[in-house]
Amino acid sequence: MSPEYSPTAPRSAVSPNDLRPAALDDVDQILVDALRRDARMPNNALAALAGIAPSTALGRVRSLIERGVIRGFHADIDPRALGRGLEALISVRLQAHARKHEAFTRRIAKLQEVVDIYFIAGANDYLLHIAVLDAHSLRDFVIEHLGADPEVAGTETTLIFEHLRPRP
Amino acid sequence: MSPEYSPTAPRSAVSPNDLRPAALDDVDQILVDALRRDARMPNNALAALAGIAPSTALGRVRSLIERGVIRGFHADIDPRALGRGLEALISVRLQAHARKHEAFTRRIAKLQEVVDIYFIAGANDYLLHIAVLDAHSLRDFVIEHLGADPEVAGTETTLIFEHLRPRP
DNA sequence: CTTGAAATATTCGGCTT
DNA sequence: AAGCCGAATATTTCAAG
């Protein structure tokens, strides 16, 4: 008998050189969902939730990490507790001839103030989400780390009044 | 003897009605830092790292949660694994007379596609970070959830090529 | 904040489907 | 391949000092 297509098995990747992690089955979905809500949920409880043995849950979670589906487990910390009560978004446009995007990214990524780096389409090249102590620190950040860089053609800073993360 | 200033004690809040969590001592700092890197680090290991007994570490972490310093523990999931390989930023401007910001926020916060809601200063009122399946879903999202709302005066959508989160 | 002990959870090898 | 079981290790948690 020739091999045949199984409709219940996960499909292979859609495009040829696709780095997408393999599709998640129902159990994986439950585990991922639970860990997204509470990364410290015991393996025990995960197993019970998913209706599998603890050892199986352990293997599943390890596989999810291995496959890159779970990229990490992190505590969400109130920036105010870290003395970073002021958050801002900074649009950054690099010089047209600038081809040192990677170097810029690496340099910016090292700065303590930087929370997110979005590499974006459109007139600007980056949107930086930063968290600092106060307005003075914000100015210092822009002047010292962006204004001083000859590759940076321009910046635009916008204050964040409130930041919500609805999912977790 | 009159009460005197103790240089080692944490200062009280700077401004009168300040909701800032109390300052963190060295041990708290270590715990917060470790849990930010790895939310699943065992309480045991945390204790050893901070140089305190496990029971003390347990109490410290609970206190940090209680005080709102730690807002949660979350697994970081690759959006591609969730079938959300396309991310975008959408600037949203509400009608000048719109005073239903809270209602808008609540409605948007419920949508599965929404990753972050930034309430910002400037010409626009919101910046939404969303993750969707593909360009078609993105268009649908804008039309259905933003374009259809009479309170929304305008939107501007920008694709995210890459999103880095340097800290963890 | 620590100790110490009981209750829970993790983890692995070996076995079953 | 993937899952379960059982048993040794490890961890969590609380009451007491």
Distance A76 CA to D1 C1' (A): 37
Q: pLDDT tens digits, residue range B128-141?
A: 999 999 999 999 99
Is the predicted pLDDT of residue B23 greater than 90, yes or no?
no
User: Which residues does residue A45 pair with via DSSP β-bridges, in sequence order?
Assistant: none
Q: pLDDT tens digits, residue range B32-54?
A: 999 999 999 999 999 999 999 99
A17's CB contacts (< 8 A; 6+ apart) are none
Nearest chain A alpha carbon to B78? A69
Share the mean pLDDT of chain A: 89
Distance B126 CA to C11 C1' (A): 47
Distance, in Å, from the CA atom of B55 to the CA atom of B65, rounded to the nearest integer, reads: 16
> Residues of chain B with pLDDT > 70: what percent?
88
Substitution target from A14, A74, A84, A101 for chain B, most B beta carbons within 10 A: A74
Tokens of B157: 């959508």
The band of A66, judged by pLDDT with boundaries at 50, 70 and 90, is very high
Question: If DSSP codes are grouped into helix, strand and coil, which group holds residue B38?
Answer: coil
Q: What is the DSSP letter of B147?
A: I
Q: What is the DSSP letter of B23?
A: P
Judge contact between B10 and A53, C-beta under 8 A. Answer: no
User: CB-CB: which of A19, A76, A117 is closest to B164?
Assistant: A117
Nearest chain A alpha carbon to B65? A77
Q: Is the dihedral of CA A106, A107, A108, A111 positive or negative?
A: positive
Tokens of A65: 């990490």
A162 part of contact set with chain B, CB < 8 Å: yes
Share the mean pLDDT of chain B: 89
Q: Is the dihedral of CA A137, A138, A141, A143 positive or negative?
A: negative
Is the predicted pLDDT of residue A82 greater than 60, yes or no?
yes
HEC string of B102-145 equals: HHHHHHHHCCCCEEEEEEECCCCCEEEEEEECCHHHHHHHHHHH
Amino acid at A126: Y
Amino acid at A53: A
Query: Do A89 and B163 lie within an 8 Å CB cutoff?
Result: no
To the nearest whole angstrom, how far is the Cα of A1 from the nearest Cα of chain B?
A: 34
Distance A45 CA to D2 C1' (A): 20
Judge contact between A78 and B68, C-beta under 8 A. Answer: yes
Please tell me the pTM assigned to this model. 0.88
Residues A2-30: what's their mean pLDDT? 55
Distance, in Å, from the CA atom of A118 to the CA atom of A127, rounded to the nearest integer, reads: 5
